[in-house]
């Protein structure tokens, strides 16, 4: 494919790719049949949206997009058992993962039971002491005091712990989205769109989305019995946060769930969400970006380096004072997490560079690396190399690691194969992310085998990630109104990237380094329009130094448009991703 604007290698070494001829034809057809801006038509064409579906795509509704819960296996069993527990006033426990998806999933269930004046026991394992998912000791203890245990965002591979709980007399329901094995644990119900025996289930859902579908089915059962259930729409702020923070693809029903959830969050009615937004300095209507980069990491901080249940406690509390206290603590933990992450990232990147960043798998392992940050560091390595990445921290002979993958490479299935082959003690996940535990003596053979598996999927043939652009814009066209129109195609995130445009042959009018490694510039095309731009981390590579010392040269600039609010004034701003000499 020809390079867009002739950019074969940008300042960051990437080839620029623009819309194909077919996309341009589709965009023209959409423009002819609608009154939408050309840039938005191109974006719709890139997403494969035909002209007659444009209006529906721009206004996604749950009524049209939400999957039928009854089509998922075990949904009937799970809903009936939960309703029986409610009606019989049984003691119910929720066993949740320690990340955002686990916290939001647990909160959905706790909220639902609370609206019937029923209390639920929350159990979240300690990341370091207990690790991911149900463990036998905890499940047996819960089973002695509870007749029903609901595992959320975990449990699909927890054969022994679930069997132990059943042996103690408790029923167990699993509501999960992680990749299942050929067999399932002996639970009363396993509702998971990624069970291997599911055919057309919505595998893109995170656990919070799965739990929401269970609540939808419970609502249907209540209505059939002439009873009134809780307002599920008011809970969509939790589903939105879990979906975005778990990097679930923003496609199909997830678009509607997140879009509606953001509206609920903007009402500021959940004390925990309000406190979280306040400590994060969020002073505008929330967008998917804020959920992924401001709110999500703070909820996660407790599970990563602090007390595992802090995030869920924040989301479930109805006390504003308690909410602000927990939010402040999570904010402190998040700052501490960033410091720990930076140290581990430097060591991991240096180790991976020695091994080679062009191998099918990029990996690093070290003693004392905090298990709460290895997943984030793996993500950073993946982004830097466009390769699947694994980062493992060892405590004595025992290692716990996390991996992140790139589009088209199924890491979760490969990790499961390592477990089946006995090269790791346990592991699982999904295509884009996975976790694993292994002994030190198995490290080298396990990583060698995983490298082979990644090579078979084509990971070794991947080049530097190309920069995909949605078209050209002139500075005068980049208005606040256009940006707001483009937002209608959102929310933007995993599998639905925010539109990125090129501004060709522009002049740098102002350039200044800000903070430690960021760059702020203003640019124009000589026709009177001036646009501000910010490039975060620009001085970590060649982008910052070259643009700062531009010497009057002209450049093509590429990035994502956003609205900047300053002293009550709204103006367009470019989030600069790349540049090339014009």
Mean pLDDT in residue range 138-147: 98
Confidence of residue 132 (pLDDT cuts 50, 70, 90): confident
Mean pLDDT in residue range 302-320: 93
State pLDDT tens for residues 461-475. Answer: 887 778 999 999 999
pLDDT over 90, % of the chain? 90
State pLDDT tens for residues 332-348. Answer: 999 999 999 999 999 99
Q: Look at the domain 4-14+469-581 and name its fold.
A: OB fold (Dihydrolipoamide Acetyltransferase, E2P) (2.40.50)
According to the model, what pLDDT value does residue 463 have? 73
Query: From CA 497, how far away is CA 560, in angstroms rounded?
Result: 10
pLDDT over 70, % of the chain? 100
- Start-to-end CA span in the chain (Å): 20
pLDDT reading at 182 higher than 80:
yes
According to the model, what pLDDT value does residue 407 have? 86
Q: Look at the domain 356-461 and name its fold.
A: Diaminopimelate Epimerase; Chain A, domain 1 (3.10.310)
Confidence of residue 240 (pLDDT cuts 50, 70, 90): very high
State pLDDT tens for residues 190-237. Answer: 999 999 999 989 999 999 999 999 999 999 999 999 999 999 999 999
According to the model, what pLDDT value does residue 1 have? 74
Mean pLDDT in residue range 546-550: 96
- Pick the residue with more confidence: 521 or 465? 521
pLDDT reading at 545 higher than 80:
yes
pLDDT reading at 363 higher than 90:
yes
According to the model, what pLDDT value does residue 518 have? 97
State pLDDT tens for residues 270-293. Answer: 999 999 999 999 988 999 999 999
Q: How far is C-alpha 213 from the geometric centre of its chain's CA atoms?
A: 19
Query: From CA 217, how far away is CA 227, in angstroms rounded?
Result: 13
pLDDT reading at 57 higher than 90:
yes
Mean pLDDT in residue range 297-309: 91
According to the model, what pLDDT value does residue 526 have? 87
According to the model, what pLDDT value does residue 567 have? 80
For the stretch 36-43, contacts whose Cβ atoms lie closer than 8 Å and that sit 24 or more positions apart, written own/partner, are 36/485, 37/482, 37/485, 37/486, 38/471, 39/470, 39/471, 39/473, 39/477, 39/482, 39/486, 39/499, 39/501, 40/482, 40/485, 40/486, 40/488, 40/489, 42/470, 42/471, 43/470, 43/486, 43/489, 43/499
Going from N- to C-terminal start, the domains of the chain cover 4-14+469-581, 19-57, 65-329, 356-461
β strands within 369-474, DSSP E: 389-395, 398-404, 426-429, 433-439, 467-468
User: Please, are residues 162 and 155 in contact by the beta-carbon 8 Å criterion?
Assistant: yes
State pLDDT tens for residues 245-272. Answer: 998 999 999 999 999 999 999 999 999 9
Confidence of residue 384 (pLDDT cuts 50, 70, 90): confident
Tokens of 21: 């001829």
Among 110, 153, 157, 139, which Cα is nearest to 246's? Answer: 153
State pLDDT tens for residues 397-431. Answer: 999 999 999 988 999 999 999 999 999 999 988 88
User: Please, are residues 533 and 520 in contact by the beta-carbon 8 Å criterion?
Assistant: yes
Is the domain 65-329 a CATH 3.20.20.70 member?
no
The reply to whether domains 4-14+469-581 and 356-461 share a CATH topology is: no
β strands within 192-345, DSSP E: none
Instruction: Tell me the CA distances in angstroms from 527 to 475, 524, 531, one per residue in order.
Output: 9, 7, 12
Write b or e for each residue in 306-320: b if 16 or more Cβ atoms lie within 10 A of its Cβ, otherwise e.
bbbbbbbbbbbbeee
């Amino acid at each position: 494919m020809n390079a867009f604007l002739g950019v074969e290698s940008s300042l960051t070494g990437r080839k620029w790719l623009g819309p194909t001829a077919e996309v341009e034809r589709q965009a023209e057809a959409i423009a002819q049949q609608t009154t939408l801006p050309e840039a938005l038509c191109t974006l719709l064409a890139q997403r494969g949206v035909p002209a007659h579906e444009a209006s529906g795509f721009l206004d996604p509704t749950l009524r049209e997009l939400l999957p039928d819960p009854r089509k998922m296996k075990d949904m009937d069993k799970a809903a009936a058992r939960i309703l029986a527990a409610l009606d019989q006033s049984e003691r119910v426990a929720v066993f949740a993962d320690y990340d955002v998806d686990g916290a939001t999933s647990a909160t959905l269930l706790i909220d639902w039971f609370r609206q019937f004046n029923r209390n639920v026991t929350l159990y979240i394992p300690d990341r370091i002491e207990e690790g991911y998912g149900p463990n036998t000791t905890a499940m047996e203890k819960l089973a002695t005091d509870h007749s029903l245990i609901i595992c959320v965002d975990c449990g699909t591979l927890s054969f022994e712990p679930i069997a132990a709980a059943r042996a103690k007399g408790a029923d167990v329901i699993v509501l999960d989205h992680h990749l299942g094995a050929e067999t399932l644990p002996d639970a009363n119900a396993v509702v998971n769109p990624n069970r291997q025996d599911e055919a057309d289930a919505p595998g893109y859902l995170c656990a919070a989305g799965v739990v929401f579908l269970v609540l939808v089915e419970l609502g249907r059962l209540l209505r059939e019995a002439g009873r009134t259930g809780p307002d599920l729409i008011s809970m969509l702020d939790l589903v939105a946060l879990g979906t975005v923070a778990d990097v679930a693809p923003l496609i199909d029903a997830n678009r509607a769930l997140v879009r509606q959830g953001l509206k609920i969050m903007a009402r500021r009615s959940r004390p925990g969400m309000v406190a979280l937004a306040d400590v994060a300095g969020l002073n505008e209507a929330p967008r998917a970006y804020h959920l992924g980069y401001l709110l999500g990491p703070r909820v996660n901080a407790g599970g990563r380096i602090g007390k595992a249940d802090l995030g869920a406690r924040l989301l479930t509390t109805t006390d504003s004072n308690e909410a602000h206290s927990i939010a402040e603590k999570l904010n402190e933990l998040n700052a501490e997490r960033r410091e720990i992450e930076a140290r581990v990232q430097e060591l991991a990147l240096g180790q991976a560079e020695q091994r080679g960043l062009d191998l099918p798998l990029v990996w690093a392992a070290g003693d004392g690396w905090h298990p709460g940050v290895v997943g984030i560091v793996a993500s950073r390595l993946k982004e830097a190399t466009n390769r699947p990445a694994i980062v493992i921290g060892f405590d004595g002979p025992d290692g716990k690691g996390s991996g992140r993958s790139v589009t088209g490479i199924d890491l979760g299935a490969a990790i499961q194969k390592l477990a089946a082959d006995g090269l790791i003690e346990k592991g699982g996940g999904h295509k884009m992310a996975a976790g694993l535990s292994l002994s030190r003596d198995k490290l080298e053979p396990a990583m060698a085998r995983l490298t082979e598996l990644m090579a078979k999927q084509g990971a070794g043939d991947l080049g530097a990630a190309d920069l995909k652009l949605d078209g050209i814009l002139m500075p005068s066209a980049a208005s606040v109104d256009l940006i707001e129109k483009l937002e209608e195609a959102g929310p933007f995130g995993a599998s639905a990237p925010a539109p990125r445009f090129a501004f060709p042959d522009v002049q740098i009018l102002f350039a200044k380094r800000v903070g430690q490694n960021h760059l702020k510039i203003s640019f124009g095309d000589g026709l009177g329009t001036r646009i501000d731009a910010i490039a975060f981390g620009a001085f970590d590579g060649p982008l910052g130094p070259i643009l700062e010392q531009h010497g009057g040269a002209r450049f093509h600039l590429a990035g994502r448009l956003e609205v900047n609010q300053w002293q009550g004034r709204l103006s367009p701003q470019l989030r600069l991703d790349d540049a090339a000499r014009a």
